[in-house]
Amino acid sequence: MKERVVVTGMGVISAIGIGLEEFWSGIKAGKPGIAPITRFDTKDVPCKVAGEVKNYEPKQWLDHRTIQRSAHFAQFAMIAALEAWKHAGLSKEMFDAAPERCAIILGNGIGGLEADNDAQRKLVEKGASRIPAMTIPKIIGNEAAGNISMLLGIRGLSHTIITACASGTDAIGHALYYIQNGYADVVVTGGTEAAVTEYAIGGFCALKALSTGFNETPERASRPFDKKRDGFVMGEGAGILILESLTHAQKRNAGIYAEIAGFSATSDAYHLTAPDPQGSGATHAIRLALTEAGMKPEEVDYINAHGTSTPTNDPIETLAIKNAFGDHAYKLKVSSTKGMTGHCIGAAGGIEAVISVKAMEEGFYPPTINLEEPDPACDLDYVPNVGKTGNIRAAVSISLGFGGHNSVIVMKKWE
């Protein structure tokens, strides 16, 4: 019989708050975290807004040596992991007798882009001999997990999943499998990203994927399911969860915040950047995740949608939800929280899983802000602009990524 898997700790760093309490207060208030980009001069790019982490002082959590050797995406992951670890009441001494029983499975989409930018400039301007010594460790996508293992003393599996915007959700799903099948008692999981860089913004602008029509009103730029949406807004941060076998959690009297009940991932096999117009891959992923959770569609009350605010994603995701849930799609509540956080790429699934857990815990449906004029093709209850209270028995979090990745987790309220 497979182990049941529960959430015993959470940590977040994002554009609307550093730390779980500040972050969740921002979600409940519908706080927009999108503002003018400050990390670089935006004169050469048409998108000039992003969801940057504000008032960021890593020395509050990390020592000088760790900061110097790590890129922002790894720093974000470590800070969120420290909070989640403390929230769960864990210590490395708990695993001294069996170090393999605690693992890390983390999602990341892009890696240390700011370190890559810096190295490229030095290469062009001064030659290869002037590339900074720590460039390679900073840019490699697995270094967030590696840094967490050293920070927390975790000696079990350290694994990184890179599936673009589905990375964080895929990581949580694989952490679920790892515990269910008895390979570990505890897994630190979720996602991290720091892609508010000239390189990334320029690259996504070249794809015409980013919003450019709200540079003067940045707080209105990310508007999932709204008729006037014109692209996604880059966000950054990390969302980390501690997953634990129910047996292990109960043995140590840990606080339990939700159960991770099911996961599925599929591929569209359609296009590198565009979703399948019929939403068939996403539909299939939702159905498979519900089947794995042993649940009927009618048992789900809330969906945290991928909801990127792009012209193509939002109606196709809506179609997938309707195909998977049938008539029940019009009875449940759906929201995209990216209007507040921006689209955090590899961190999105981790951050949105934290939101879904908190939503069930407190009985609160997060709002979809900036939904002023609904797109006729997006005709579900998206909790427009103001959150609502209500009992949430189960939640689904959806992440869809470039390359045709579809990833879905199903969570149950813990009672």
Catalytic (active-site) positions: 165, 306, 343
Q: How far apart are CA 192 and CA 79, in angstroms?
A: 11
What's the CA gap between 302 and 353, in Å, rounded? 12
User: Which token pair is 300?
Assistant: 């789900």
Q: Does residue 305 contact residue 267 with C-beta atoms inside 8 Å?
A: no
Sequential DSSP letters for 262-319: EEEEEE--S-SSSPPTT-HHHHHHHHHHHHHHT--GGG--EEE------TTHHHHHHH
Please compute, for residue 148, the number of CA atoms within 13 A of its CA located in the half-sphere on the CB side: 38
8 Å CB contact between 150 and 90 = no
**Structural contact between residues 380 and 136, judged by C-beta atoms closer than 8 angstroms:** no
Element spanning 381, H or E: none
Judge whether 236 and 196 are in contact, CB under 8 Å. Answer: yes
CA distances from 66 to 74, 134, 313 (A): 10, 11, 38
